[in-house]
Amino acid sequence: MDTGYIGVLTLRLEMPWVSNLKEKRALVRPVVERLKVRFPVTVARLDGLDAHDWELIGVTTISNDHEWIEQTLKMASDFVAAGGEYRVVAEQQMINSLSDFMNSDSDREYSGDEVDDGLD
């Protein structure tokens, strides 16, 4: 039985008419911020940060309802595609069961009490 799902959407935005990073950030940053406000998602600028004509953004959400994740990522994708001076040239969506993540390390047993504080 699956306890939940995590959905990830990646979008490659291209704007070949942009000539510098400042101009590109002025186009990309607002859409990233609006996504965070409008939808229950986390958004990150993933790649192309030093390129002036393209960028890869990632959108993720988590829920116990697979269909809700599909709908949320679809609405986020449509929102990005409809609202900017850029072209969405590539899109990838992936939804995985949380049990896949929890069972991915079969050599380690999770007790629920463990916390990795990164101080080791």
Is the pTM higher than 0.75? yes
CA distance 86 to 88: 7
The confidence band for 38, taking pLDDT boundaries of 50, 70 and 90, is: very high
First vs last C-alpha separation in the chain: 34
Q: In the prediction, which pLDDT does 111 show?
A: 46
Strands (DSSP E) found in 15-115:
42-47, 54-63, 87-97
- The 10s digit of each residue's pLDDT in 51-99 is 999 999 999 999 999 999 999 999 999 999 997 789 999 999 999 998 8
